[in-house]
Amino acid sequence: METSGSDELPVDIVYNILSRMPIKSLARFQCVSKVWCKYINDTYFETMHNAKRGAMKVDPTMLMMFQLDLYPYASSSLTMLVTNEGEKSATTHEEVVIATKNPPPYMEFGCKDWGPRFILEDIILGSCKGLIFSSQDNNVDDRSTVLLVINPLKRKCYKLPPIKIWSCTSSAFQEREACGLGYDDSTNTYKMVCVVLRNQDKIRSYDHDDDDVVKEDLCTVVHDVVLGGTANSSSSSSSWRKIPALPAYPISGEAVFANGCLHWLVSILLEYWPSNAVGKVVCFDLTKEEFGLIDPRNTLIRMGREHLVDLDGQVGLVYDDISTRHTSCIEVWLLNHETKCWVLHCRFDRKPPLRHNTFIKVIGYWNKDAGDLLITDTTCRRRLFIYRLKQGVLHEANFIYQGYLATTTNIRLYQPTFSSILRRSINNR
């Protein structure tokens, strides 16, 4: 029987043991020896691990807090959060206590100071299969941006080549383009996709239902992200490549990656919003590198704000209705991947502890099996709420943080994945 080398254990036994380990442990085990690192980065082991862990409890979802500090320079920090649930509170609901691990922070990285922002309110611009991304530098002269891909499990950052992805009009940033990080299973490649304006200084009004006018200023570029090297290193893929595919409409907001596709909402910043674009979602197939359209949910469009959210691998759409002051409600819909139709997950009224004059943001599933949701207030990201689907109740979590809290704070859910810990080149093109 073949042995594993210096450890003198049969290879099949080592594979069997490692395949039952959590992903966070495997990330550390790669440092044990060259032999173990070789095993963990073997494509056979990846298949074996997925099969074994699929029958067991998956790695727990972690809560992470990102903060942006502008002094003395723009810098962000990542702090891991821990939760404690089960004690009864005075309101008879289970009390959820969320606190920081000691000592914070877990990781620090450079981050762009956007200045006064209307929609660009997040430090983290998106995520995919164990990686997240932000923006680090801003060249004022040519308005270029350096996107930063972050691997929290390894505490590493990878810089992408500079690209112009934002337009600036007068003194305020306007979101005219969008980007998203996805994973192409056919080539085991992470891809950053950006839809940009060819002419960054040209702001035009779009005519009703005129797709050609919308498309003529848009350009789609893709960067194949190669993970490797040391912390804060550049991606080894040297440039962005232009592809012929274009979305039917400008897109905006955070992209959600699910079922091999990136999903964006049609931009709400069109000066004249075509009637046939209201509520639609633009999708991008990472393997075919083609865009598509998903029809809106079959409900009356009212006054409110929408955003997409990753609900454990499903595309969720959150509609926050503020059409009236006292009867506003919040709806959460799920996209059926097969039928491309929206299914209502839950609907609940806005009432205390939620405020009437602010929008909410659904962060993700607090408990997937029960369908419970983790929610935050867009004006105060340090207020966290749990919506209990089966009980139909919403209550505020007890957030405990000792230390300095920056003005800009984001709370994110993080699920470790096998592809995020690999040391082999994941670009097989």
* Cβ atoms 243, 220 nearer than 8 A: yes
- Residue of 300 and 66 predicted with greater confidence: 66
CA distance 148 to 136: 6
Give the pLDDT of residue 143: 64
- Over 90: is that where the pLDDT of 308 sits? yes
Q: Phi-psi region for residue 135, left (φ > 0), alpha (ψ -120 to 50) or beta?
A: beta
Give the pLDDT of residue 11: 80
- Among 312, 302, 324, 418, residue whose Cα is nearest residue 371: 312
Q: How many helices (H) and strands (E) does the chain have?
A: 5, 29
Is the bond into 161 cis (omega within 30 degrees of 0)?
no
- Residue of 275 and 309 predicted with greater confidence: 309
Residue 119 backbone dihedrals phi, psi, to 5 degrees: -115, -30
- Give the amino acid at 371: G
CA distance 413 to 363: 7
Q: Which of 83-92, 164-173, 334-343 has the lowest mean pLDDT?
A: 164-173
For the ranges 35-49, 55-69, 171-185, 186-200, the maximum mean pLDDT occurs at 186-200
Q: Are strands 398-400 and 94-100 parallel, antiparallel or unpaired?
A: parallel
Instruction: Report in angstroms the alpha-carbon separations of 196 from 118, 217, 333, 396.
Output: 19, 8, 28, 39
Give the pLDDT of residue 13: 82
CA distance 248 to 268: 14
Q: What is the enclosing helix (H) or strand (E) of 374?
A: strand 372-377
pLDDT tens across 31-87, in order? 788 888 888 877 777 777 767 655 554 566 788 888 887 665 667 888 888 888 765
Residue 178 backbone dihedrals phi, psi, to 5 degrees: -150, 160
Give the pLDDT of residue 118: 39
Q: Are strands 233-234 and 156-159 parallel, antiparallel or unpaired?
A: parallel
Average pLDDT on 299-312 reads 78
- Among 252, 68, 98, 236, residue whose Cα is nearest residue 178: 252
10 Å CB burial of residue 120 (0-12, 13-18, 19+) is middle
Residue 148 backbone dihedrals phi, psi, to 5 degrees: -120, 115
β strands within 61-130, DSSP E? 62-69, 75-88, 94-100, 107-110, 126-128
**For residue 120, what are the β-bridge partners?**
none
CA distance 292 to 314: 17
- Over 80: is that where the pLDDT of 360 sits? yes
Give the position of tokens 């981050």.
111
Instruction: Report in angstroms the alpha-carbon separations of 259 from 77, 337, 342.
Output: 31, 7, 15
Instruction: Give the chain's mean pLDDT.
Output: 76
pTM value is 0.82
pLDDT tens across 212-226, in order? 545 567 789 999 987
Residue 101 backbone dihedrals phi, psi, to 5 degrees: -70, 155
pLDDT tens across 127-159, in order? 998 899 988 765 555 567 888 999 888 888 888
* Cβ atoms 37, 26 nearer than 8 A: no
